[in-house]
Structure 1
Amino acid sequence: MTLLLIVLGAALGAPLRYLADRAVQARHDTSFPWGTLTVNIAGSALLGFLTALPLGDGVMALAGTGFCGALTTYSTFGYETVRLMEEGARFHSVANAVASVVAGLGAAYCGMAIAQTIA
């Protein structure tokens, strides 16, 4: 049952990641991966929020592992960071790496703090 919940969550998170990534990136005329950065920060905030709530294993499998796991994308982040470096956009490459890690951790912390405040 747990595997089915993870698959269901991922089936919702992956298309949402693609659509959100494309919508954000279409608004920027730059090679910087704003779309991936946005979905990774949003997913980190949501996962931080969920982990601070007293949720059952099924909900965490669906929403945390499945949905947030598919919404966020470390592989695309890594690929885009390397691509920027290979294209000679060193500043954007380093900025992407630093912003992704710092903002992702900060968003997860803020999500946890919000959940603790309202729970």
Structure 2
Amino acid sequence: MTGPLAFLLVAVGGGVGAAARFVVADAIRARRTTALPWGTVTVNAVGSLVIGVVAGLVLTVGADGGGLESWRLLLATGLCGGFTTFSTATVEAVTQLRGGRPGRALATTAANLLLSLAAVALGLGIVLLLA
């Protein structure tokens, strides 16, 4: 799908995702006092889980099957694209490095990468198991 409808689906999903990321990450940051940025790690893992589920549905049903292409654009590209944030995770790790905390920077990077990969695999696995 291309054109104005695809653009609108991605734009709406992205706007909602970015606003949701702000609320969720900020709420987690306000409650946690640990050295790692768990708000960013959480939104990246949750968004990756949703992307894994959507990808699993596309793999099992096909992108055009049952109107999944619209849902893929809205949820995976738009919502999760706005919700997850590789750039913020990178800035947080670099800030920790510049602050003389290389261990925290490595832990932040590892948590984002490993939890996000595991979440995508879990989402895919759930859908493929149920298919």
The TM tier, using the shorter chain, reads: over 0.9
In the alignment, does 2:92 pair up with 1:73?
no
The residue number in structure 1 matching 2:103 is 91
Structure 2: which 5+ residue stretches go unaligned?
none
User: Which is greater in Rg?
Assistant: 2
The residue number in structure 2 matching 1:7 is 11
CA-based RMSD of the aligned residues comes to: 1.1
Counterpart of 2:69 in structure 1: which amino acid? D
Q: How many correspondences in the alignment?
A: 119
In the alignment, does 2:32 pair up with 1:32?
no
Q: 1:52 aligns with which of 53, 56, 60?
A: 56
Deviation sequence 1:7-36 (CA, Å, 0-9, x none): 010111011001000111111113421100
How many Å separate the matches in 2 of 1:65 and 1:115?
18
Extract structure 1 runs of 4+ deviating beyond 3 A. none
Q: TM-score, normalised by structure 2?
A: 0.86
The residue number in structure 1 matching 2:124 is 112
Determine what percentage of the aligned residue pairs are the same residue. Answer: 34
